[in-house]
Amino acid sequence: MVEKHRSMLSFLVAKGKNMASLATAEVCDSNAAILASGDLRVLQPIFHIYGQCRSFSGPIVTVKVFEDNVLVRELIESRGEGKVLVIDGGGSMRCALVGGNLAQLAHNNGWAGIVVNGCIRDVDEINDCGIGVRALGSNPIKSNKKGHGEKHVPVYITGAFICDGEWLYADSDGVLVSKGELSI
């Protein structure tokens, strides 16, 4: 049964749909106890919304880089299977870590969304892509290609620690991170 659910989720994600999306306001209202405990965190409202998918959710994959997107590309080239890539770019506004080609590749490989603590570029291309993207802003300068950084490590973004395997929920109201998958 789990395998059938995974196959259906992969199919829907590949078609630009995310059946696991929940309204963040409802999640907060329905999970007050875990919100108070810190097992459900609300990221500060500093992210701009990009891409055609306004809401998305899924298990988190983390990467920590600074003005270098080689490891970002490596992860996006893998099968996303409905996961959300959380990129801690150190909040740098000096260059972009994700552009239109990477966003389209992520969509094609079944990623549910991308959250960038940094910048993107090719905004019009990303907005035409069937994936959800959150970023601090845009910058036309491309990143370095040295391969520096770390994959699958805890990251600290907007006052919250985020770990591989936790769940992210994003919609027009905000971005939530939970220790596990939630329901209403």
Q: Give phi and psi for 68, each to the nearest 5.
A: -150, 125
CATH node for 2-178: 3.50.30.40
* Low-confidence residues in the chain, pLDDT < 50: 1-20
CA separation for the pair 61, 154 (Å, rounded): 10
How far, in Å, are 43, 93, 121 from residue 12 at the CA level? Answer: 26, 33, 26
| pLDDT tens-digit map of 96-133 | 999 999 999 999 999 999 999 999 999 999 999 999 99
Given phi > 0 = left and psi -120 to 50 = alpha, else beta, which region is 174? left
Each domain of the chain, given as residue ranges in start order, spans 2-178
Rg (CA), the chain: 15
Instruction: Report yes or no: 17 and 131 within 8 Å, Cβ to Cβ.
Output: no
